Structure 1
Amino acid sequence: MLTEVVGAGGVRLSLRVAGAANASAIVLVHGWAQSSLAWSAQLADQDLTRHYRLVAVDLRGHGGSDVPALGYDDPRAWAEDLAAVLDFAGNGAPVVLVGWSYGGLVITDYLRVHGTTNIAGVVLTGAITEIGRNRPGGRIGPAMRAALPAALSDDPGEAVPALTALCSGMSARPVDGPLTQSLLGTSLSVPPAVRAALFRRDVDSSVVLSGLDVPALVIHGTDDQVVDLSASEYAAGKIAGARTRWMPGTGHLPFVEAAAEFNSALSQFAGERFAH
C-alpha cells in the first residue's frame, strides 16, 4: 500500500506499508540517493508481514516524496520528518527503527532532537551515523570514494558513469541484473542538487550514540565497499550493550544479498523488543 504523511515544513513524504494495521511497527529508512523500494524483500516477506506492520519511507528529495529546496543540512528537518513517520506507523506505540547507510544518520538526527521517544529498538545496517572529514562513524569504502565527487555532479557525463559504478559495487554476492538497474535508476531520479546537499554536513554523533537507552542491533556486510565496516564498529562501540552481526561475503545490501538471514535477524530482534 502506498500512502503519505506530512513532514517538516509541509513536505509530503511517500510511504510503502505492508502487514497488519494493528500490529507492532517496523520503520525502514533507506540510504543516500535510494528509496523505499530498497526494502522490497522485507515488505514482501510473509513472516515479517504476518507479525509486524512494515512502513518504509521515501526521504525528502527521494522516491515519491516532495523535493524541497531546503532542509537537507538541517538535523531538525530530518528529525521532524521521521517523527511524522513514527507517529503514523506506531499510532502512539514505540516502533523498531531500521536505518541503512545514510538512513543511520537520519536516525541520529531524530535521536538528537527527540531522544528515544516512540522507539523500542534501533537496527543499523551498513549505516553511517556521522558525516564529515575524519568522522569515524561516517567512514566510507572504496566504491563510494571512487564515485565522489562525480556522483554529485549535474553533468550526466560525470554523474551517470560514477553512479553506475557505485550501484554495481554495492553488492558482494550476485544479485539480479534488473535490481542493479533499479538501484541506478533510483539514484538518477534523485536530483543532483539533493545528492550534493546531503553531503554538505559535518555531524558528530558520539554523544547521541553513547546516550542511546534502547537496545540496538548493528549489522554490516564484511565485504561492504560503500560504507566501511569500521563505521559500524565505531557505532557499536559507542552504544552500550549493542549487539553486532557481521555478515561474511556480503556487501552493502545485506537485506537483499542475504535477505532470509537479514529478515530472520530483524524478526527476532523485533520480537524481543515488542515482547517487553
Structure 2
Amino acid sequence: MARAEANGIEIEYETFGAPGDPALLLVAGLGQQLLAYPAEFCRMLAGAGFHVVRYDNRDSGLSSGTPEDVPPPDWQAIVSNDYSSASYTVPDLAKDAAALLTALGIGSAHLVGVSMGGMIVQQLAILRPDLVRSLTSVMSTTGERAVGRPSPEASAVLFAPQQRTRQAALTQMVRSLQVLASPEYPTPEEELYAYVAAAHDRAHRPLGTARQLAAVMCSPDRTAELARLDVPALVVHGGDDCLIDPSGGRATAAAIPGARLLTVPGMGHDLPRQLWQRLADEIIRLAKEAEAARNGSASRGAEPTDGVRA
C-alpha cells in the first residue's frame, strides 16, 4: 500500500492491475476502510482490464483527517439543523477523491461507491464530471431526507456506544454487521470475526466514524444536481437493505438521466461473497460499455475530454 498527499491530508491507497488500463476507483462507506473491498473482488475487476484503486477515506483506516483535539460532533445540535460541529461534509470527501486521482496522475476513472461511498461518487460526478468515465452507486441514496431512511434496528447500530476493550468491540462490530446483513446471503460468523479483527487491528477510529456520520447528516440533497449529470450510471440496491431503505436506490436511479437500477432480492446492506461475481460483472459491463462509447466517439472525430492518464 502507499500514501498520497491530496486535498490537505494523506490518503492511504492500494492499486491492482496495470497502470495503463482505464482506472476504476472504489470508494468505501461509513467507517469502512479499503478492506471493505476485498482483494479478491479487486482482482476480479483488474482481471477484466482495469487499473483498480481502493483507498481509506479521511478519518478512517490509515488516512489522516481531523485533528484529535477537534471536539466530536454535537448530535443534538445536528438534529436541530445546526451543523457547525461537523468537521466536513460529503462534498469535502468528494474533493478528497478528486485530489487522489490527480495525485496518482489519473485523468478520469470509473467510479464505484458503496453506501456513504455512493454519496461521495455521486458528489464527485456533480463537482468534477471531467473525472468520471462511469458511475456505479451501490446501496446509497440522494440525500433527500424522505427516502433511504434506516429502520429502528439499523439506527441503533449507527449510534451504539463504543466498547472499550478489543474483544467487546469485535463482538459489537460482528453483531452490527449481522443486523445489516443480507438475509439470503449469510456470511459465516467466523468470517465476520476475521474481517472485523483485521480492520480493528489495522486502525480503530470510532471518532472518525462519528465525524463521517456527521458529514452525511449535514450534507445537502443532491437530487437536482444529479438530474444534470451526463454519465453512464448503474444503481445497485439490496431489496432487504435496512440501513438505507431501497427507496434511496430508486430515488438515485430516478434522479440520474439514463441510469439503470438493479434491485437484488435478499441482499441487505453488505457485500456478501456470494454476490461478488455478480456485482463485479455489472460494474465491468457498465465500464466496458462506457469505454466503447468513448472510443466510438473518438473514432468519429470527437475530441476526447480526457485520457486514462493525466
Q: TM-score range by the shorter chain?
A: 0.7 to 0.9
Question: Which structure has the greater CA radius of gyration?
Answer: 2
**1:195 to 2:205 alignment:** no
Alignment of 1:170-209 (within 5 A): 170-172=180-182, 173-185=185-197, 186=199, 189-200=203-214, 201-202=217-218, 203-209=220-226
> Offset of 1:121 from its aligned partner?
1.1
Alignment of 1:255-274 (within 5 A): 256-274=273-291
| Contact 2:5–2:103 (Cα < 8 Å) also in 1 | no
Q: Please name the residue that 2:270 is paired with.
A: 253
> Offset of 1:217 from its aligned partner?
0.1
| Contact 1:20–1:49 (Cα < 8 Å) also in 2 | no
| Contact 1:219–1:232 (Cα < 8 Å) also in 2 | yes
- 2:94 is matched with which residue: 79, 99, 102? 79
> Offset of 1:149 from its aligned partner?
1.8
| Contact 1:99–1:124 (Cα < 8 Å) also in 2 | yes
> Offset of 1:98 from its aligned partner?
0.4
| Contact 2:125–2:132 (Cα < 8 Å) also in 1 | no
Mean CA deviation greater in 49-58 or 16-25: 49-58
Q: Deviations over 1:125-156 (max 9, x none)?
A: 112332xxx71355224542131321xx4553
Alignment of 1:39-50 (within 5 A): 39-40=37-38, 41-45=40-44, 48-50=46-48
Q: Please name the residue that 2:83 is paired with.
A: none
Rounded Cα–Cα distance in structure 2 between residues aligned with 1:109 and 1:182: 33
| Contact 1:218–1:236 (Cα < 8 Å) also in 2 | yes
TM-score by length of 2: 0.77
- 2:111 is matched with which residue: 84, 97, 101? 97
Q: Please name the residue that 1:156 is paired with.
A: 164
Rounded Cα–Cα distance in structure 1 between residues aligned with 2:90 and 2:275: 32
Q: Cα–Cα, structure 1 residues 207 and 221, in superposed 2: closer, same or farther, change >3 Å?
A: same
| Contact 1:222–1:246 (Cα < 8 Å) also in 2 | yes
Q: Please name the residue that 1:126 is paired with.
A: 139
Q: Please name the residue that 1:233 is paired with.
A: 250
TM-score by length of 1: 0.85
| Contact 2:113–2:138 (Cα < 8 Å) also in 1 | yes
Mean CA deviation greater in 117-126 or 74-83: 74-83
Q: Deviations over 1:189-236 (max 9, x none)?
A: 442222222222322111221122111100011122222111111111
> Offset of 1:7 from its aligned partner?
2.0
Mean CA deviation greater in 71-80 or 222-231: 71-80
**1:108 to 2:122 alignment:** yes
Which residues of structure 1 form unaligned runs of 5+? none
Q: Please name the residue that 2:308 is paired with.
A: none
| Contact 2:134–2:231 (Cα < 8 Å) also in 1 | yes
Q: Please name the residue that 2:59 is paired with.
A: 61
Q: Please name the residue that 1:36 is paired with.
A: 34
Q: Cα–Cα, structure 1 residues 205 and 137, in superposed 2: closer, same or farther, change >3 Å?
A: farther
Q: Deviations over 1:214-264 (max 9, x none)?
A: 111000111222221111111111111110111112222246341111111
- C-alpha RMSD over aligned residues: 2.6
- For this pair of structures, how many residues does the alignment match? 266
For CA contacts below 8 A with separation 6 or more, give which structure has more relative contact order: 2
Q: Secondary structure at the match of 1:55?
A: strand
**1:147 to 2:162 alignment:** no
Q: Deviations over 1:146-170 (max 9, x none)?
A: 31321xx455389766533221223
| Contact 2:59–2:212 (Cα < 8 Å) also in 1 | no
Q: Cα–Cα, structure 1 residues 187 and 140, in superposed 2: closer, same or farther, change >3 Å?
A: farther
Q: Secondary structure at the match of 2:130?
A: coil
Identical-pair percentage = 25
Q: Cα–Cα, structure 1 residues 66 and 243, in superposed 2: closer, same or farther, change >3 Å?
A: same
